[in-house]
Structure 1
Amino acid sequence: MVDPGMQRSRPISGARFRGNRIATIAAAATALVGLSAMFSPAQAASTAHATDGIQGRDISVNQGTNYDWQGVAEAGVKFGQAQATDGLDWTSPAFKQQYKAIGDAGMYKGAYHFARPHQSGGAEQAQHFVKNGGGWTADGKTLPGMLDLEPTPSAKTAEEQCYHQSKAQMIRWIDDFRTEYQAETGRLPMIYTTTAWWNQCVGDTPEFADSPLMIAQWGSKTSGQVPQAWGDYDFWQHTEGGAGKSSVADRSRFNASSEKLADLASNPQYVPVGRANAQAYLGY
């Protein structure tokens, strides 16, 4: 994903369930440590190549409104995602037109939010996201919104990369975002991240394995490791730019069948690919 902070004047830089869920984190994480010798994310992650399977694209304000969604749909691309919001108060001026164009091309459409945990609580940013295009519609063609968790390009130290949050604080922030998003839409959000960032800033908690995972791993023939909580990924963003007649976009692949993708778009009880693959090891 591309940090829109580089394009603007601002410097880059359901709560009723929360108590029970947070209370299980420490115990579950401890269990994960004991199972680590048996369960290896590198072994569990799919070995499919980047160009295998169902392909998608994602864009931000940087691509403008002229991306050729019809052209890539005709080339066989099945889903597209566009950035709707960033942090507590920014909305993409290109989002509405981009989002409509994805749907008009007959593709599954989705929106994503660039998280800035240092700006506000997770619930407030989830509200901002839903209010500005990140919700979900039960029309069979809309993917649940995605929470983009990664450092900004300007982050140099470990503290900056984690937005000056401890792992416990980051877990709470993500939980608050997910809880509010689910309360607003009836769906859990997808999560976009890199394995390195997740391990550094969140750790090995299994708390969020029921959110579909998009893992970012560029320039590699396979996706590599995924965070330990997931046995595999739902989406792999494998290229930081994809061919289009008018501009470039990030490329990704879906790690299952067309029926599974349709299930993601329509079923609030969707079971993520990674969670299903991890159940035999982790027992949840």
Structure 2
Amino acid sequence: MVSRNRLVLVSFAAASVLTAMSAAPAAADINGPDVSSWQHIDGRGINWFAVRGSGNNFAMLKATEGLNYVNPYFVQDSLLMRAAGVARGTYHFARPAESPELQGALYAAIVLGQNGMLDLPPVLDMEDSGGLPPGALIDWTHRYLNTVQALTGRLPIIYTYPNFWKSAMADSNEFTRYPLWIADYRGNDNPEVPGGWPNWTFWQYTDSGNVPGIAGGTDMNAYSGAQGDFGRFANMPFSGSSGS
């Protein structure tokens, strides 16, 4: 006989799955979480085989922040993601009060390139102005992106959210050549796209997803198809792979 506690746990797990499914974009079939040290609750590891087995094609992994922080789980997660067949995106959290060139160099050194098998392009996480006015922040962003592209050989992705871009970046349309990863949790069919971008590439649609293999809640993201076949975009080993 199933105990009362086990029934409660089963019911809770089922409700969590349904909640995550209802929050996902209806048309999206290429999804993945993004993780940092916060998903390693009490030092626990992530079971990347369970993450992939539950239908997640990719994950975004925090690598660095500013000039003084490296995710202590970065190497561990990178190796296990590759072993499990999860395409890896890596991101740098920008601290614009410090040099963009030095931050780009730190990021590139830690990720050891971002152009190998199962690698998505590098990501710049823009959600802190560092006290810079829009003109100076726009210049900082150009300098960081140019540095990382030169060091990795790939055109970076920009992560941001609409209100930040419209205010801190004065809704600049100077970055539309870079793929956009937009955060918008309002539950609409499509996110708000600032800055003159014609479309979004990744959409972070919730910050409270539940993924097998990851302890606690996590952000969830969908791929739009804006960069074409996901397998090619993620350097999957077989050309033409959809990532399914």
TM-score (norm 1): 0.68
C-alpha distance in structure 2 between counterparts of 1:258 and 1:76, whole Å:
20
CA contact (8 A) 1:217 1:236 kept: yes
Partner of 2:38: 62
In 1, Cα distance between equivalents of 2:135 and 2:188: 34
- Deviations for 1:121-150, whole angstroms, at most 9, x for unmatched residues? 2111111111111631242x1011111111
Distance 2:150 2:143 in 1: 11
Equivalent residues of 1:50, 1:252 under 8 A apart? no
Match of 1:137 in 2: 115
**Paired amino acid for 1:74:** G
Structure-1 residue corresponding to 2:220: 251
Aligned to 2:104: 126
Matched, 1:263 2:232: yes
Aligned residue identity for 1:142: D
What is the alpha-carbon distance in structure 1 between the residues aligned to residue 156 and residue 74 of structure 2?
A: 18
User: What CA distance in whole angstroms lies between the structure 2 residues aligned with 1:83 and 1:224?
Assistant: 23
SS at match of 2:229: helix
* Cα distance in 1 between the residues matched to 2:176 and 2:81: 28
Which residues of structure 1 form unaligned runs of 5+?
1-47, 152-161, 268-284
- Counterpart among 141, 157, 160 of residue 190 in structure 1: 157
Structure 2 unmatched ranges of 5 or more: 1-23, 237-244
* 201-210 vs 183-192, which moves further: 201-210
CA RMSD of aligned residues (A): 2.1
CA distance in 1 between partners of 2:73 and 2:206 (Å): 22
* Alignment equivalent of 2:206, drawn from 223, 239, 250: 239
Sequence identity, in percent?
31
| Conserved 8 A contact 2:201-2:226 | no
| Aligned match of 1:202 | 169
1:221 alignment counterpart: 188
Amino acid at match of 1:132: I
Distance in 1 (alpha carbons) for counterparts of 2:182 and 2:115: 24
Does residue 146 (structure 1) correspond to residue 123 (structure 2)? The answer is yes
Question: Which residue of the other structure, out of 163, 168, 179, is the alignment partner of 1:212?
Answer: 179
What amino acid maps onto 1:60 in structure 2? Answer: S
Aligned pairs, number: 208
Q: Aligned in 2, Cα 1:213/1:75: closer, same or farther, shift over 3 Å?
A: same
- Number of the residue aligned with 2:4: none
- Structure 1 consecutive aligned stretches of length 4 or more whose deviation exceeds 4 Å: none
1:227–1:76 CA distance, 2 compared to 1 (3 A): same
1:249 counterpart letter in structure 2 = T
User: Is the Cα contact below 8 Å between 2:93 and 2:125 reproduced in 1?
Assistant: yes
Structure 2 CA distance for partners of 1:238 and 1:51, relative to 1, 3 Å: farther
CA separation of 1:214 and 1:50: change in aligned 2, threshold 3 A: farther
Matches within 5 A, 1:7-18: none
What's the counterpart of residue 74 of structure 1? 53
Match of 2:77 among 90, 98, 105: 98
1:89/1:96 CA distance change after superposition, 3 Å: same
Cα distance in structure 2, aligned partners of 1:88 and 1:231: 33
Q: How far apart are the structure 2 equivalents of 1:202 and 1:250?
A: 24
Q: Which amino acid aligns with 2:183?
A: A
Task: Please list, as runs of the form range in 1=range in 2, the aligned pairs for 1:27-46 lying within 5 A after superposition.
Answer: none
Q: State the secondary structure of the residue aligned to 2:121.
A: coil
1:116, distance to aligned residue in structure 2 (A): 0.6
For the 8 Å contact 1:67–1:244, the answer to whether it is kept is no
User: Do the aligned partners of residues 79 and 205 (structure 1) sit closer, same or farther apart at CA in structure 2, a change above 3 Å counting?
Assistant: same
